[in-house]
Amino acid sequence: MAKTVVLSDLHLASSGGIDLLRRPEIRERLWEALTGADEVVLLGDAVELRDLPLAASIDAARPFFDELGEVLGDAQLVVVPGNHDHHLLDEWFERRRLDGAAPLGLEHRIRVEGGPLGELLSGMARTRVELAYPGAWLRPGIYATHGHYLDRHLTVPSFERLAVAAVERVIGGPPAATVDEPGEHEAPGSATPADYERVQAPLYSFLFALAQSGLPSQRLGGANPSARVWQTVGGGYGRAARIRGRLLGSVALPGAVGVANRLGLGPVKPDLSPGAISRAGLAAMGQVVRRLGIDSDHVIFGHTHRRGPLRAEVGWRLEGGTRLWNTGSWIHTPWLLGRTAADSPYWPGTIVVLEEGRGPQPRNLLEDLTREALRGPTRRP
């Protein structure tokens, strides 16, 4: 019986030591869960390419991939790039432009031939590896993609959302069928992956270039920019966070959101409560599914770092019947954590398991750890 394991948002090589899978004791938990897997899918942002120069990022991430090769043996690894490791696709996109290739579809399987990913995979000689973009059909009726296209429709004023809107203002919007502003009553329209790439890829290239220059690009668009915005304006858990959030949420944020909307960078809303962020992410991903015409029973994505669905949560099933699943992340973001995994949708360590004849099965491999254990040993800045 074929077994596929999907995980996303590892952000290996992130600054600040937030990438948990650089810690051997955390990797051991993942390796145990991957035992017997025929296929592993890294669903975007496996490597953080916005914080450090490329060579340093590769060096920091290589031990993970070397050990992964030992665990997988001759099984298959599928790497689906996201927004933070979009650079892995640069050579492929260049070849497509030179060859006059057909428009970008929902799935392209790409051989790994050198480049940064080739360097990362140099210790995985036995494992069959390929890139897939912008997503991959993992089973009939099960489609997986990183989910970064949802930033085009997000109503949360994250860095990425506003920056994508700014690029769109400069180079012009997508074709008429997709220019409707996102919102609760947005017309469905239609789009192609090329429409999203046109307005989002320039931002990814810019942030990658900043990292190569040695500038602190993580201050602009580091791991989980939505979470950084939420933290800055008072989001998170605890009494102090709630008080700060009420003060800033009633004064500073609405004014800034108003300016963004007047500049044509919205519409965005000032509500950065946990529930509002979750609802906005699901609504935006629903827009992507509808506009791209993804006809699937299940769509698995990451990007928002918000695992789910949890328990009896609503909003994860679209009008057409498609069920959404989010793989969460493997980074330590203490301002987003509750006291335990049970009360924190941002608790890291989620995988989604696919087995023949069964739908997606989410599992959290770190749910027994405490907040202190997740933090791990103190690291120097």
Please tell me the predicted confidence (pLDDT) of residue 138: 97
Tell me whether residue 269 is in a domain: no
State which amino acid sits at residue 90.
D
* Residue 255 host element (H or E): helix 252-262
Please tell me the predicted confidence (pLDDT) of residue 291: 96
> What's the average model confidence in pLDDT over 309-321?
91
- Nearest Cα neighbor of 7 from 44, 59, 62 is 44
The percentage of the chain sitting over the pLDDT mark of 70, rounded to a whole number, equals 80
Tell me whether residue 277 is in a domain: no
Model confidence at 239: pLDDT above 80: no
Domain end, chosen from 216, 243, 262, is at 262
Which range (14-18, 240-244, 273-277) has the least confidence? 240-244
CATH number for 142? 3.60.21.10
Please state whether the peptide bond connecting residue 348 to the residue before it is cis, i.e. omega within 30 degrees of 0. Answer: no
Model confidence at 380: pLDDT above 70: no
pLDDT band at 289 (very low <50, low <70, confident <90, very high): very high
Q: Are residues 177 and 135 in the same domain?
A: no
For 183-209, what is each residue's pLDDT tens digit?
443 445 689 999 999 999 999 999 999
Model confidence at 363: pLDDT above 50: yes
For residue 193, the enclosing domain spans 150-262
Please tell me the predicted confidence (pLDDT) of residue 270: 67
Domain end, chosen from 212, 242, 262, is at 262
- State the total domains in the chain: 2
Tell me whether residue 311 is in a domain: yes
Q: Are residues 7 and 144 in the same domain?
A: yes
Q: Would you state the torsion angle of the CA atoms of residues 89, 90, 92, 94, taken in this order, to the nearest 10 degrees? A: 160
Please tell me the predicted confidence (pLDDT) of residue 264: 61
> What's the average model confidence in pLDDT over 103-122?
93
Please tell me the predicted confidence (pLDDT) of residue 132: 98
Q: Are residues 162 and 198 in the same domain?
A: yes
Please tell me the predicted confidence (pLDDT) of residue 173: 59
Please tell me the predicted confidence (pLDDT) of residue 343: 82
Question: What tokens does 311 get?
Answer: 């328990």
Q: What is the DSSP string of 59-119?
A: HHHHHHHHHHHHHHTTSEEEE---STTGGGGHHHHHHHHHHTPPPP-SEEEEE--SHHHHH
